[in-house]
Structure 1
Amino acid sequence: MALHSVQPPSLPSMNLDAELSALAVQEDLPSDLVWRLLRHPAARRSVALSRRDLTEQLIEEIIKLGSARSLAANASVPADVRARLAGHPEPSVRCGVAASVADEPPGLLALLADDPDPSVRSFLVMNDRLSPELLARLASDPEPSVRSSIIKHWLDAPDRVCRALLTDADPNVRRNSVSAYFPPADLLPGLLADPVTRAAAVPYTAPSPELATDPDSAVRAATAAHPDLPTGLRDLLAEDPDLFVRNAIAARPDTPPALRERIVAGLETDSPLAEWILSSRRSPYTCPSPAPAPPILTREQAEVLLAEADL
């Protein structure tokens, strides 16, 4: 619905910042209204992040007003502007560029891969335009957080990269790698022997009494969730002293209803957070329905809203 001259109906009662931010991304919004919205910080960030019709003058004003970070993440901003923002002194701005910028000019992605701030290199890993060579370079980055980002975003990494990450010196990198990559058979014994990766490696081996009685409750919980868990070990773990282990048995689809009911009845905790975690693991998470799209405002309605915000 285009902006046109009609008698404005009263606007619904909503959060003013949210209404202005919604107006800021409305299509076909007259440029004079966009300029006025730049005076409101939240609306300006929405303009910078989402509008596809930003002129050179608007872009310069957004940078001047301090919203370069949001602008850097807008894929519709001209390549030369995003390349310029790749050299911005604030790492958060360079992060926004790194996550989605194209290699324009050629070599820009390699430049970002050498950024002195590890957060920029971590954001770069999210960029789906990276070559295998750049991904491999980031997989051996000296900063563990960058290597952890590779694990999340390069799920089809080649064998040599997977092996390096599965045997990484950093414990968190090793643990995350085991959860993301299928370990080669020759590495599995070492991963099961490593206290850091033992629980994460359980799904790749056969359940055993040793695993079901491991001193680490995380190992026992992983064993309780194993798809090939024998009935005897299931019944043993149903009596485990740790409620999260027992809950893993209750969450199994092959657990008899009577046993599940008995386990759930005994899962007592004084922590609302623990109760939520326990129940969510027994029931698949359902995403909430998306919020309805904000109404498209007429020019007169937009003027009312801007006046309310003194814009």
Structure 2
Amino acid sequence: MKDIVKVLIVVVLLASIKSHAQEFTGVATYKSKRKVDIKLDSTQVNSEMHQKMMDMLKKQFEKTYILTFNKEESVYKEEESLGAPQPGGMEVVMINTGGADVLYKNTKEERYTNQNDVFGKIFLIKDELKKLDWQFGSETKNIGEYTCYKATITRERPKIVGGISVNGDKDLDEEKEPEMETITITAWYTPQIPVNNGPGNYYGLPGLILEVNDGSETVICSKIVLNPKNEVEITEPKKGKKVTKEEFDKIMEKKMEEMKERYSPRRGKGDGQEIEIRIGG
């Protein structure tokens, strides 16, 4: 009889542990910063204006994101904030081709859904999560109260990500294929939060990713609330025109060409200065 009781206790404990694992949820706040180093013709932009523009761009790239997650799913989106003021006498057009208004990830099913609002039209991009070949390191560091371990991955991307045009001049080598470069992405993850997830499209490590650096942008976690009192809702976006990643990229290219024509001084903007910066994904 005692043996039966022991077995029943073990079964109840295992069921309790499984139930707890399924209910494990959290909300993580991330902040991003990007290096900005743009060289402009001093005959067109003086040093004071150049510095103001650099300061404004740094502010543009200082964003806050919220990752809501459980063991298998997550929703990652930018926290709304007021835009940075434009430097006097200059209009800066930011075109981000690699972002997402709402990014849903399902790490168990290895798929994602991006919901993007492109100039008032909403698109849904659905695709498989790209497998990331992480290389594990032995280095550790603390981020807040969590011990984090280092992992790296190499990836190719265009050496010149996007372009800059001043006073409507076309980008150099605009018609040529971009030169590629190999970069190293460094992530810091903590096994203390046992979820296979992280900011943006990053995932695939045995613990929540708290920091990612790709050489130009750093995204770091500033706050974590585990199992919050208020119920965490993780909902996959459903609204929007369904397109493939390839179709969406073509739409973005067309929109960028339209924006260039719209803001070109040759279209009636006079002699005003124009800076266009594209940030690719």
What's the TM-score, normalizing by structure 2? 0.16
* Pair member with larger Rg: 1
What's the TM-score, normalizing by structure 1? 0.15
Higher relative contact order, structure no. (Cα contacts within 8 Å, ≥ 6 residues apart): 2
Per residue, is there more strand in 1 or in 2?
Answer: 2
Per residue, is there more helix in 1 or in 2?
Answer: 1
